[in-house]
Amino acid sequence: MESKLIGDRAARPVSAAGENAATCTFLGLFAILLALVTSRHEMYVDEGQAWLIARDSQNLLEVFQHLRYEGHPALWYLLLYLPAHLSAGIVWMQAINYALSVAMAWLVLSERRVPLAMRVMSVFGVSVFFYTGVLARSYMLSAVLLVGAARCLLADRPRHWLAMGLLALAINAHFFAIPAAAGIFVWFYWLAPVHGRGSAVARLGERRFWMSAAIIGAALLLCYFTVRPAPDLYTPHYERAGLRLIDYLVLGIGRVWCYFVPFPLGILSVAHRELIAPWEHPSLLAAALTIILWLLAVSVLTARRSRRFFLSASVAWMALVWATVHIPGAFHSSFLFLAYVIALLADTQCEGEHPWLPSQFARPVLLVLLGMQIPITVQYSVEESLYPFSGAKATAEWLKDTGLASRPLVIEPDSAAPAILAFTGVRSAYFPTCHCTGSFVVFRRGRDEHRLVTVEEFRDLRQEAGASPVVISHQQLSVESRRQMGIQLLYTSPHGEFWPDEDLYVYGDNNFAMTKSFGSGE
């Protein structure tokens, strides 16, 4: 018996050393691959929008004023504020998101109570690696804060106040972090099965509980006042003519299916097309498939607490989607997967608890569910590395190389402006969509994204600036318009892989065109 105990004690350091080596290996692989893909990534629209809001707000009050047209809490913009004012290089935003992504990978990979294969598949899935890791937005910041809070409460020695602080910050990092934050507070703190069934009631009499609830309540109030929309806010891209809320619910649930399957949806459904009527059979099929996959994911969780957390967080998340964006995008859906990762971290074997599926089937099914995201990660990463997302970055680099970035810029529509202005460092451009000058999109009523610059506007801009403006457009201008403005096509951006209709055409005055030799243009 004594020799067996000695052998067990000798084996533990080896096992711990092997676990540490595996964690470091996969963390290093994650960091290297993420750096390679991130270096090739072209930031676009919302990524550039956040950087420009931070860069061009003269003070923090202006940041909060601009956010009333964004629908996002302030934490990500506040994090960008100082770097954006110290340097015009948007690469700093990528660096911040990269550091957060590596921290997120460490938080998941270092949780030894979860099998290594599940941890690895979680961080290399498309939701963590690409949608929140490569794309530099507020999603990864929310993920780090939520997972950090969950680990604080799930630790052998819980760090309660740190967890409450992280949850408060997560709520103010993204609106869709609220369901997961509420679930962590309820299931990992208030209803945590540590002191028996009576502990939940007993906690209601504790001062610490009410102080913690006050912290979360204050964070929710701050989030509300930040994202409270301006009276003249205009967001037509969230609406579809003639659809009711119940129709959006069907479309929204069906849309979630699109982001977790590694083969073309056209084989089974056309629900990934935004304009499909929700009552059509393919959309109902996609919604049914989403629910089946969701229930399957719930059925392989072992601990009741994990199941209850994921169920409640998912339903609350869908309710927020239903009431706000209606049809979730891939980035929004990443919060659903994040809630599942947190459920896995809490899913340590509890005595007397079993998954709904028989144990011999639960593990293989879970590995398949997590593994389905890996092929999508590979596909998106390869496409990101080989092809431009759109023409914005290439156009910005061309403008700087030719010196045209110093000219007055006209950008139509304004959705292309954030990336162009962020990569060039130019402070403002004229947007025909709103008859206004700025550096980022302001979603006010009266904005017409299809409107092009008129000849009269062009002449007024030329007279005011004392130089002929450069027109950057998603459309090829007519011969008559070019003749009247005295401009011609100078440059056409490379054809984008992700959004093939996002090619950009750059027009400048004829005198400038005759003095330069361009590789692409007329």
β-pairing, 470-473 vs 436-438, is unpaired
Domain boundaries, the chain: 2-384, 392-515
Q: Write out pLDDT tens, residues 457-513.
A: 999 999 998 889 999 998 899 999 999 999 999 999 887 666 656 789 999 987 765
Average pLDDT over residues 51-58: 93
Asked if pLDDT for residue 413 goes beyond 90, the answer is no
> What CA–CA distance (Å, rounded) separates 54 from 78?
7
User: Terminal CA-to-CA distance of the chain, rounded, Å?
Assistant: 86
Q: Helix or strand or coil: residue 508?
A: strand
pTM above 0.75, yes or no: yes
The answer, yes or no, to whether residue 391 has pLDDT greater than 90, is no
Q: 438 forms bridges with which residues in the sheet?
A: 429
What DSSP element (H or E) covers 506?
A: strand 505-509
Longest alpha-carbon distance in the chain: 97
CB 503 within 8 A of CB 388: no
CB atoms within 10 A of CB 205: 8
Residue 132 reports pLDDT greater than 50: yes
Residue 239 has pLDDT above 60, yes or no: yes
Percentage of the chain modeled with pLDDT above 90: 57
Contacts of 390 (CB under 8 A, 6+ apart): 42, 44, 416, 419, 493, 496, 498, 499, 502, 503, 504
Residue 515 has pLDDT above 70, yes or no: no
Closest CA to 415 of 49, 43, 40: 49
What integer pLDDT is reported at residue 117 of this predicted model?
93
Of the two residues 246 and 12, the one the predictor is more confident about is 246
Task: Tell whether the model's pLDDT for residue 6 goes beyond 50.
Answer: no
pLDDT for residue 59 is more than 90: yes
Q: Is the pLDDT of residue 455 over 80?
A: yes
For residues 426 and 345, give the distance between their C-alpha atoms in angstroms, rounded to a whole number: 45
Of 182, 144, 199, nearest in space to 308 by CA: 182
Average pLDDT over residues 265-291: 56
Compute the average pLDDT of residues 444-464. 90
Alpha carbon distances (Å) from 491 to 256, 447, 472:
38, 27, 9
DSSP code at position 415: G
CB-based contacts of 402, cutoff 8 Å, min separation 6: 490, 516, 518
Q: What is the mean pLDDT of the chain?
A: 86
Question: pLDDT at residue 60 above 80?
Answer: yes
